[in-house]
Amino acid sequence: MLDFEIAPNQAAALLKENKARLIDVREPWEFETSHIAGSLPMPMGEVSARAHQELDPEERLVVMCHHGIRSMNVAVWLREQGFEQAQSVRGGIDAWSAEVDPAVRRY
């Protein structure tokens, strides 16, 4: 079984190889402020209503928020719903900016 968290550089490698889908669970204003191209915006409060319609339980899901707290909660919930390959990006988009792509705006 996969760890509940994945390092930003590991997530970036999976995304580059099209081996995962990036789910951004931050609020719309946060997504507008800064996001990673190709990510699916799905605010945390909408996940329970949208997950089973929009996400594939067989797919590797990488979940991101600002610092990794909300995304961890979502990843745990997704796993409980049968999305066994859901993982939270450790440190969120803030860590992604620091470790992977400094062009991603920090806020």
Would you name the residues annotated as active-site residues? 65
Q: 6 has which bridge partners? A: 89
Strand order in the sheet with 5-6: 5-6, 86-89, 61-64, 21-24, 40-41
Which residues, at least 6 apart from 9, have a Cβ–Cβ distance to it below 8 Å?
99, 100
